[in-house]
């Protein structure tokens, strides 16, 4: 695909994934980039200006007319927008998250269909998988087919699963649009939130390490034996670009698991970050109810088969060192603790 001739829309483009994706699109020479975001978590902080060749729209994607306006003249949509947060946030606002995200996904997909979009990339999540599989710390890596029988642990997962099904149905009904569905798992990198209430674990742990002992105690939730996999943002962006290049040979790519296949215990992740800090930090374990205590490892072999042998290039140690340096540099900038989608 000739990227230079494509007009691209990135929804949620002022959030963690969106900002990094737009930066990658600029690097590879996309001439027309449009971003839409409601700025709900950045205190109206807009990352973009017209000098970069990025058109920015501040708006709510639950608005049908706004979605249609955003799709005008667009070839490819990367739909990254979603209401996100910590596990506690998902539990407290379960109904609102389900309603908000399914409405956004529906309005955006319908606008894409009416606007003759050629490729629609849907960013899904590992949270679509049944809670039974994710609560077993000894289970093997989860394959894409194991999404059935459906029983996500949180409403965010239900919303993402509904979004996947909607895109699959749309592609079946209208062969003018090609679809890509990625189930991302625990990715991290620059522009990710370190907010103590809604932030992701790696930037939050790094923030706590940097501010320790002024910011204390240094807690982890659960036993510390829970396992996760973590993938650096640049590796995620590689898969998105490869998939768009290859989708011309498919009607739909995915759903594909995308992430690292090297699990690490939360306590070991914490100790890696403490090691990078060089501080003598005492960790305090705090109890946590499910689904916080689940373990999560995805089988990403199918992504390697479809995406030209893709595997993550950035090791966890290298990624953590990059992220620690980034957070350290940005600690004095207020918006480091905010993200959107």
Distance of CA 270 to the CA centre of its chain: 21
Partner residues linked to 122 by β-bridges: 79, 181
Partner residues linked to 130 by β-bridges: 152
pTM to 2 decimals?
0.92
For residue 203, give the 3-state DSSP assignment.
helix
Placement of tokens 């399914």 in the chain: 102
Show the domains of the chain with their CATH numbers. Answer: 3-189+230-260+298-312 (3.40.50.720)
Kindly tell me the burial class for residue 69, based on how many C-beta atoms sit within 10 Å of its own C-beta (0-12, 13-18, 19 or more). Answer: middle
pLDDT tens string, the chain, 341 residues long: the values are 666 689 999 999 989 999 999 999 999 999 899 999 988 765 545 667 665 779 999 999 999 999 999 999 999 999 999 988 777 778 888 999 999 999 999 999 999 999 999 999 999 999 999 988 887 766 789 999 999 999 998 999 999 999 999 999 999 998 889 999 999 999 999 999 888 877 889 999 999 999 988 777 788 888 888 889 999 999 999 999 999 999 988 999 999 999 999 999 999 999 999 999 999 999 998 887 666 557 778 999 999 999 999 999 999 999 999 999 999 988 866 544 444 33
Yes or no: say if 198 and 192 are a contact pair by the CB < 8 Å rule. no
């Amino acid at each position: 695909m000739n990227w230079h001739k494509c007009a691209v829309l990135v929804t949620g483009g002022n959030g963690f994934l969106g900002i990094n994706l737009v930066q990658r699109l600029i690097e590879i020479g996309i001439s027309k980039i449009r971003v839409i975001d409601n700025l709900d978590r950045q205190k109206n902080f807009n990352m973009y200006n017209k000098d970069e060749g990025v058109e920015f729209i501040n708006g709510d994607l639950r608005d049908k007319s706004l979605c249609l306006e955003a799709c005008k003249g667009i070839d490819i949509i990367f739909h990254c927008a979603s209401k996100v947060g910590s596990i506690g946030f998902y539990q407290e606002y379960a109904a609102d998250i389900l309603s908000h995200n399914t409405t956004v996904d529906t309005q955006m997909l319908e606008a894409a269909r009416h606007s003759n979009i050629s490729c629609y990339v849907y960013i899904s999540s590992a949270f679509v998988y049944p809670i039974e599989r994710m609560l077993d710390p000894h289970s093997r890596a989860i394959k894409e087919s194991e999404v059935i029988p459906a029983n996500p642990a949180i409403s965010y997962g239900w919303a993402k699963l509904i979004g996947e099904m909607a895109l699959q149905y749309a592609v079946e009904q209208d062969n003018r649009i090609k679809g890509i569905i990625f189930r991302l798992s625990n990715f991290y990198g620059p522009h990710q939130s370190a907010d103590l209430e809604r932030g992701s674990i790696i930037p939050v742990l790094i923030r706590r390490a940097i501010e320790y002992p002024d910011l204390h105690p240094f807690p982890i939730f659960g036993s510390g034996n829970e396992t996760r996999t973590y993938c650096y943002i640049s590796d995620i962006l590689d898969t998105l670009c490869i998939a768009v290049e290859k989708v011309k040979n498919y009607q739909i790519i995915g759903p594909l698991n995308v992430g690292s296949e090297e699990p690490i215990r939360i306590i070991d992740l914490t100790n890696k970050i403490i090691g990078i800090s060089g501080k003598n930090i005492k960790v305090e374990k705090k109890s946590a109810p499910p689904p916080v205590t689940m373990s999560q490892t995805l089988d990403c072999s199918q992504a390697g088969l479809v995406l030209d042998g893709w595997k993550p290039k950035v090791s966890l140690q290298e990624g953590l060192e990059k992220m620690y340096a980034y957070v350290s540099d940005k600690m004095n900038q207020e918006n480091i603790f905010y993200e959107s989608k």
